[in-house]
Amino acid sequence: MGGGKRNSRAASIFWAAGALCLCLLAGTAYAQPLTANDFDIDAVTSPVLGSYRTVGMGGAFTALATDISGAAWNPASFGSRTIYELDWFEYDFGLSVFSPGLAGMDDFFNNHSGLAVGSFQFLTIGLRLQFGNFGLGTETRFQIFDTSAGADLVKILLIESHTGFAYAFWDGQFVLGIGGRVADLDMELADNTKLVHFTGTGFEAGAVLKIDGQPWRLGLTGRAPVESRAEEGAGMEVIDGVARVRGFVLPQKVYLPWEVQLGVAWQFGPRPLNRAWREAHDPEPGLQGGLDRARCRRAARQLTREMRDQGQEPPNHLCPDLPADPQDPQWWIQEEALRELEEQAFEKTLAAAKEAEEARRRAAYQAMARPYYLVSADLLIVGSASQAIGIDAFVEQQRRPSGQEPTVGFRLGAETELIANRLKLRSGFYLEPARQAQASYRPHGTAGIELRLFSWDVFGYFDPFELKMGLSVDLAPRYFDLGLGIGFWH
């Protein structure tokens, strides 16, 4: 029995040693240097980047996308009105800037390789125009950073633009949007030697369901892949059949896989989440109709007198279709003077009626309760990228496969107005998918604050508007992001 135990322990040691050798061999194979151009670049970057509201809520914005800051999450946001957008024409301008001094990107790519990102900058700029139920817009996102590959500094610029239009059906309760995303990746050395440049376009579509009076919303977004052959740089040379620039082995193409996002949101409290939009009542047709009837009655009376003076019997009903116009020149002189006065009174009455209608709609919005508690969740699925490596692996010139299988991410966010019409708080959590085999899901905690500052009319040139300031924080292992911004309070 003692010999059997010794044999069992020896076998265990043998198998453990074998497994360790296999792991070491696998790790060695995994970190092999690039020696051929038989690979693509997987351009997916997984951390949540956006406005301070989207970051503060952990990126759970697919169902909430209602302004230009949501264009990168759901193209339906091009035509999805917020509850405070009451006019037939509305516009929304967005600008977010993250200073390089406000971020810590020790492991931006979540690869555990120790490749740090320096001088990180993130900028978004967008514009949305809303015409009744139809909306269109564009938003462009810039990621600018650099990282070191040995003695070489690599500068990276990744631009992603979302442009499209959307239409709101059933008084805005269902919004369907379509558009395209354009991706541009540019990688250079410190002396501006071009390594990689590509531009590609892909189709995307999205929808939001938000039933009037209901506390929930549903959102769905789908994106087609974006890919493009890498352009040849001026410094490229082919050695032994391998294309290189300054020793960097070049890829075949750069690839953004397909994506699907599912979102749901639920709001608690007396403030409504969803509100149907109907075009404001136009008082002009009614006022114009009354004015036309008054003029017709005067002309009918004059025409009756003229016809009787000529021995003709006028018809019983003259308005609204007179058989002829009055012919008395003196009557027309008086009528033209009267109509000029009527036009002046009409313009004043119409302006007052429109102002009263606008005031009524604004008062109805202002009367809405402020307290609410909003919860939103997203499921993000990103497709695979065969024969691809990450941007970081290309910089380090290592064959570390990226995106070999589809990845799934989860995002959760919450928002509340802690002090009515003054202060909002946000919090969030999301799991950043691991695109590379040696990495693992990375949990992120996010938070945000938004403060109403003061009212301003730009020295009397505009109607007064409320300014706000916001802050967001995204914290994860080896990753820290702090964003600041200003905007309009509603």
Number of H helices, E strands in the chain: 5, 22
Query: For residue 255, is pLDDT > 60?
Result: yes
Q: Looking at residues 270-278, what average pLDDT do you find?
A: 92
Sheet holding 226-229, edge to edge: 226-229, 253-256, 40-42, 388-390
Measure the CA dihedral 29/31/35/36, to 10°: 80
Q: Which of 318, 204, 191, 315 is nearest to 261 (CA)?
A: 204
Q: Which long-range contacts (CB under 8 A, 24 or more apart) does 281-286 make?
A: 281/357, 283/350, 283/353, 283/354, 283/357, 284/350
Prior bond of 257 cis (ω within 30°): no
The SS3 call for residue 356 is helix
The SS3 call for residue 271 is coil
Give me the helix-helix angle, 329-366 and 284-309, nearest 10°: 160
pLDDT band of 204, cuts 50, 70, 90: very high
End-to-end CA distance of the chain: 81
Q: Which of 84, 53, 49, 97 is nearest to 468 (CA)?
A: 53
Q: Looking at residues 462-470, what average pLDDT do you find?
A: 84
d(CA 294, CA 286): 13
Residues 132-152: tens digit of each pLDDT: 999 999 999 998 888 776 667
Query: For residue 21, is pLDDT > 50?
Result: no
Rounded (5°) CA angle 446-447-451: 155
In the predicted model, what is the mean pLDDT of the chain?
Answer: 85
Report pTM. 0.80
Give residue 107's pLDDT. 75
What percentage of the chain exceeds 70 in pLDDT?
89
Residue ranges of domains in the chain? 40-272+380-488, 284-366
d(CA 175, CA 166): 7
Structure-block tokens of residue 98: 């993250």
In terms of average pLDDT, the best of 26-35, 415-424, 455-464 is 415-424
Position with higher pLDDT, 462 vs 49: 49
pLDDT band of 22, cuts 50, 70, 90: very low
Give residue 275's pLDDT. 92
Q: What is the pairing mode between strands 134-149 and 118-131?
A: antiparallel
Query: For residue 43, is pLDDT > 80?
Result: yes
Query: For residue 23, is pLDDT > 60?
Result: no
Query: For residue 359, is pLDDT > 80?
Result: yes
| Residue found by looking up tokens 């990621």 in the block | 143
Position with higher pLDDT, 118 vs 166: 166
What homologous superfamily is domain 40-272+380-488 in, according to CATH?
Outer membrane protein transport protein (OMPP1/FadL/TodX) (2.40.160.60)
Residues 220-233: tens digit of each pLDDT: 999 999 988 766 66
Lowest mean pLDDT, pick from 18-22, 101-105, 393-397, 429-433: 18-22
d(CA 312, CA 204): 72
Give residue 102's pLDDT. 47
At position 415, the amino acid (one-letter code) is E
Give residue 114's pLDDT. 59
Cβ-proximal residues to 236 (8 Å cutoff; 6+ apart), any chain: 243, 244, 245, 250
pLDDT band of 162, cuts 50, 70, 90: very high
Give residue 103's pLDDT. 52
On the CB side of 268, CA atoms within 13 Å amount to: 6
Burial class (CB in 10 A: 0-12, 13-18, 19+), 305: middle
Structure-block tokens of residue 254: 């750069």
Query: For residue 66, is pLDDT > 90?
Result: no
Rounded (5°) CA angle 270-275-280: 130
Burial class (CB in 10 A: 0-12, 13-18, 19+), 16: exposed
DSSP structure class, residue 490: -
Query: For residue 350, is pLDDT > 70?
Result: yes
Give residue 13's pLDDT. 44
DSSP for 207-228, please give it: EEE--TT-SEEEEEEEE--EEE
Cβ-proximal residues to 107 (8 Å cutoff; 6+ apart), any chain: 113, 114, 115, 116, 477, 478, 479
In terms of average pLDDT, the best of 28-42, 380-394, 420-434 is 420-434
d(CA 191, CA 265): 48
Burial class (CB in 10 A: 0-12, 13-18, 19+), 252: middle
